[in-house]
């Protein structure tokens, strides 16, 4: 069975600072990995996904993530935080087992201060 | 192309009642999945439907059920509501739900269920 661990339930950064949200996964087979963002009172929006095509994945709104098999990690980064990036971020994993069921981490709330 | 829609957006029920939530997938998507989101347990998979058949099920009691119609719209039902069922229920759709590299799940805004 697969699992996801997101380190830090809350991360605080200043506007313009680097954003780093950590995600480690556990999977017995090569996984697909995703980052979703959730704004207050909204559903989940896909930021980016890793499907083994390239280890560095670029997503929307300037976010990117790097798949590191040796570290079983898929950390999310953005060079310069904007106030509008304040939201909750979820890392998720699925395996190509015939179903696209997602297993999610507990989420990381990103707080951006001016 | 319109996104995933869920109705109603908010619901208030009392213990013991039952509730039905509705989800309309993105046009052309045939797989619909349901997830429960709570502060304590996070996001948990409920079940997935494809071509009117439940293909996959999470670890939830039988009070949680669902169905899918021929137009791919889906409903989920919760009977004999408990206080712990208060949650945001999210629906996600994908083309065929096979977990391939091109088959991504897209989420609706959710239905916020409050059980009093």
pLDDT tens track for A42-98: 899 999 998 877 889 999 999 999 999 899 999 999 999 999 999 999 999 886 555
Please name the residues in contact with B113: beta carbons below 8 A apart, sequence gap of 6 or more.
B11, B13, B19, B21, B78, B85, B86, B87, B88, B89
Angle (CA) A93-B86-B61 rounded to 5° is: 65
Q: What pLDDT is stored for residue B42 in this prediction?
A: 92
Q: What are residue A109's DSSP bridge partners?
A: A10, A88
Nearest to A86 by CA among A64, A60, A114: A114
The minimal CB distance from B99 to the residues A44, A95, A107 is found for: A95
Residues of A in contact with B103 (CB under 8 A): 100
Handedness of CA B59, B62, B63, B65 (dihedral sign): positive
Contact between B24 and B111 under an 8 Å Cβ cutoff? The reply is no
- Please report the pLDDT score of residue B67 as a whole number: 97
Q: How high is the pLDDT of residue A99?
A: 60
pLDDT for A29 beyond 80:
no
C-alpha to C-alpha distance for B33 and A70, rounded to whole angstroms? 31
Q: Which residues of B touch A2 (CB under 8 A)?
A: none
Q: What is the pLDDT of residue B2?
A: 81
CB atoms within 10 A of CB B34: 24
Three-state secondary-structure class, residue B84: helix
What is the C-alpha to C-alpha distance for residues A17 and B9, in angstroms, rounded to an integer?
A: 35
Residue of chain A nearest B94, judged by CA positions: A100
Q: What is the pLDDT of residues B64-111, one digit of tens each?
A: 999 999 999 999 999 999 999 999 999 999 887 666 666 788 999 999
**B5 to chain A: nearest residue by CA?**
A43
- CB-based contact, A5 to chain B, within 8 Å: no
pLDDT value of residue A28: 73
Residue range B2-28, pLDDT digits in tens:
899 999 999 999 999 999 999 999 999
The answer, for A96 touching chain B at a CB cutoff of 8 Å, is yes
Query: Contact A111/A12 with Cβ under 8 angstroms?
Result: yes
């Amino acid at each position: 069975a697969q699992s996801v661990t997101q380190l830090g339930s809350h991360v605080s950064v200043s506007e313009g600072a680097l954003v780093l949200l950590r995600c480690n996964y556990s999977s017995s087979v090569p996984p697909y990995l995703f980052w979703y963002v959730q704004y207050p009172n909204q559903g989940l929006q896909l930021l980016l996904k890793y499907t083994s095509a390239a280890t560095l994945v670029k997503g929307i709104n300037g976010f990117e993530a790097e798949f590191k098999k040796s570290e079983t990690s898929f950390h999310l980064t953005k060079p310069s935080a904007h106030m509008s990036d304040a939201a909750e971020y979820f890392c998720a994993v699925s395996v190509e087992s015939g179903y696209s069921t997602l297993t999610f981490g507990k989420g990381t709330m990103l707080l951006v201060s001016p | 192309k319109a996104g995933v829609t869920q109705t109603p957006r908010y619901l208030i029920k009392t213990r013991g009642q039952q509730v039905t939530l509705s989800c309309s997938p993105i046009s052309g998507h045939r797989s619909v999945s349901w997830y429960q989101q709570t502060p304590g347990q996070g996001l948990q998979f409920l079940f997935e439907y494809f071509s009117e058949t439940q293909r996959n099920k999470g670890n939830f009691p039988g009070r949680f059920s669902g169905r899918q119609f021929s137009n791919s719209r889906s409903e989920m039902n919760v009977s004999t509501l408990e206080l712990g069922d208060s949650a945001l229920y999210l629906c996600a759709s994908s083309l065929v739900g096979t977990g391939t590299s091109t088959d991504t799940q897209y989420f609706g805004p959710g239905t916020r269920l409050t059980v009093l």
